């Protein structure tokens, strides 16, 4: 291969790497800001005071709806009757279609975990009395749960996977670009080595 051909090929791949690198960095920008900031808040979670707010609401099923609870199992897990779930959804602003209840002889209990808080509701089988409670732990807790993917649903889980792949592309193309430019930048590999050696030393001497 001639020198001109080598230069042309190198120029082509250099342009491609720059393209992949800046596109992946643009895709990752906001996500990196989110995960960087929440990495700090998670690392200092015990030092950041939270003031949970608890919201409670009570409701009453109509006799016909309460009667629909009778055929339900005496124990175990099963969805609420469709008509009961629909009424509760409209009354309390909840989507209970994919939720299972824990049944006992006295009540149905539905756990409703959510990012940044928690929630649950109970339905008494004999009286149809409904108790709903929601806990909000604040926006920092909400963002921390986004970082962990805790109670965030399937779509957010897919986003985290997509974001991780974009970060991988960003990192690998950056590494190759470092290699291609390293002959003009003598400090490149010492800095990369320090980035590796620093965490390794911390693990060896301070993490037990």
Q: If DSSP codes are grouped into helix, strand and coil, which group holds residue 119? A: strand
**Residue 129: strand pairing partners:** 60
Per-residue pLDDT tens over the stretch 145-188: 999 999 999 999 999 999 999 999 999 999 998 888 888 888 88
Per-residue pLDDT tens over the stretch 20-50: 999 999 999 999 999 999 999 999 988 887 7
Q: What is the DSSP string of 129-187?
A: EEEEEEEE--HHHHHHHHHHTTT-HHHHHHHHHHHHHHHHHHHHHHHHHHHHHGGG-TT
Cβ neighbours of residue 107 closer than 8 Å, sequence gap 6 or more:
122, 123, 124, 125
Rounded CA separation 91/81 (Å): 15
Per-residue pLDDT tens over the stretch 61-111: 999 999 999 888 889 999 999 999 999 999 999 988 889 999 999 999 999
Q: Do residues 70 and 88 make contact, with C-beta atoms less than 8 angstroms apart?
A: no
Q: What is this structure's pTM?
A: 0.82
Identify the pLDDT of residue 11.
Answer: 83
């Amino acid at each position: 291969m001639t020198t001109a051909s080598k230069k042309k090929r190198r120029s082509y791949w250099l342009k491609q790497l720059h393209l992949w690198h800046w596109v992946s960095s643009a895709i990752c920008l906001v996500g990196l800001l989110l995960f960087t900031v929440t990495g700090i808040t998670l690392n200092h979670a015990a030092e950041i005071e939270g003031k949970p707010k608890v919201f409670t609401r009570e409701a009453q099923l109509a006799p016909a709806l309460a009667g629909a609870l009778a055929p339900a199992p005496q124990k175990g897990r099963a969805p609420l009757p469709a008509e009961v779930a629909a009424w509760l959804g409209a009354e309390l602003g909840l989507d209970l279609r994919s939720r299972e209840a824990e049944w006992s002889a006295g009540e149905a209990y539905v756990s409703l975990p959510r990012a940044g808080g928690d929630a649950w509701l109970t339905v008494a089988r004999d009286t149809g009395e409904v108790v709903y409670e929601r806990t909000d732990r604040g926006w920092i807790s909400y963002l921390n749960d986004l970082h962990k993917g805790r109670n965030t649903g399937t779509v957010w889980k897919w986003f985290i996977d997509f974001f991780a792949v974009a970060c991988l592309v960003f990192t690998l193309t950056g590494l190759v670009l470092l290699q291609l430019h390293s002959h003009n930048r003598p400090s490149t590999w010492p800095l990369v080595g320090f980035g590796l050696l620093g965490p390794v030393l911390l693990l060896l001497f301070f993490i037990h």
